[in-house]
Chains A and B, each alone.
Chain A
Amino acid sequence: MKHIKVLGSGCRNCEITANVIGQAAQEAGIEVEIEKVTDIAEIMAYGVMSTPGVVVDGKLVHAGGIPAPDQARAWVRD
């Protein structure tokens, strides 16, 4: 199962990002584990400064804004 982390110190955009990914996974019928990372030290360890950021299976794929639904679909699929 894919492990997706949403990096962000709890601002509204981070919530929305988690929802966008959750929805994409649901539509595709794929089970993913979404974890919200709010600890600033862990976020910075990925080198991310513009939140929200997205990490898929340990790899940073996105930073600085709410991702488009297309992007989220690509992350849960492959």
Chain B
Amino acid sequence: MFDAFARVLAFGVLGLNPASRSGAAVHFFIMDVAKLFVLLVVVIYVMGLLRALVAPERVREFVRGRPDWQARGLAVSLGAVTPFCSCSSVPLFIGFVEAGIPLGITFSFLIASPMINEVAAVILVGVLGWKLAALYVLAGLVVAWFGGMVMQRFRPERWVEDYVWKIRVGEAALPTPDRSFAGRHGYALSEVREIVGRIWKWVLIGIGVGALFHGFVPAAWVSEHLGGDSWYTVPAAVILGIPLYSNATGVIPVAEAMLGKGVAVGTTLALMMSVAALSLPEMLILRKVIQWQALALFAAVLATAFTLVGWGFNAIV
């Protein structure tokens, strides 16, 4: 449906040649803009209607005071189902610390949160199919689980800024939500406005990059350099992804274009994770609560994990 629409617009209305590079790029761009934004709005609206989005204030109530494996499981899955803005990272971190939740579990949450969310997961299914979506989500959960465990080994408590330990968190007496249909509808609309308003730039940039890749990078060059035979493409993809930052939804069109040209699955997944979960702005925000040593360790643990995931999938698929 979106393909047909984009064909009409790109080749009919704009009169571009389907065989030309710019024609292919423009077609990809129009198709993905239509597809992704329709999906985004529908998915966020439905989630909002079901009130499926968990408020961060609730997260630590769920996690606190449980045995480690339960707490970690909850932290990872709640991180995965909550599309928090990275500006909530600091308050969440402090809230976790104050509740006495071990730092390793907090890190598990911080890894899962930007990398996986239910909106991105549904869009992944829509764009890349359920198999790849499942691979991405599964790999993300595993990395979050073990990444936090490895962090714990290094006793990161010594790198937490002093003032964090002193903060006392009040009991949030949040107003009870309106349960009527009108209330749900209003909430769902405001969620759509808020989330789409926050991430549309990343999605557009991602589609732009994907379109350029799709139109202008020759498949022969890709299969020669990024086909998955050489060991260094995965770490290279991870390193490339560190300075680059996008929202988890924004990297989907890039992955779509890469896979379409024959880039190996593991390499693509590694890049996606690195772009979504490892970013300079996120690090700078977390710097307010932990020192550089912990951030460097965090980045190193994640980069290693993504590389292993990439190699693993390249070896299997």
Interface set of A (CB-CB < 8 Å, partner B): 8-9, 11, 13, 40-41, 43-51, 59-66, 68
Contacts and interface: CB of A to CB of B under 8 A. Distances in A.
Given A48-B91, A51-B87, A65-B194, A60 B163 contact: no
List 9 A-B pairs, minimum CB-CB distance, nearest first. Answer: A47-B172, A49-B91, A47-B170, A49-B56, A11-B87, A50-B56, A45-B170, A65-B194, A44-B169
Contact of A47 (B92, B173, B288): B173
Contacts of B194: 13, 65-66
A64 B172 CA distance: 12
A63 B172 contact: yes
Interface in B31-59: 55-57
Contacts of B297: none
A50 B172 CA distance: 11
Given A41-B167, A44-B170, A47-B169, A63 B57 contact: yes
A61 B190 CA distance: 16
A9 B186 contact: no
A37 to B, nearest CB: 12
Interface string B166-177: 111111111100
A50 B90 contact: no
Contacts of B174: 60, 63
B207 interface: no
Given A46-B172, A47-B170, A66-B194, A40 B91 contact: yes
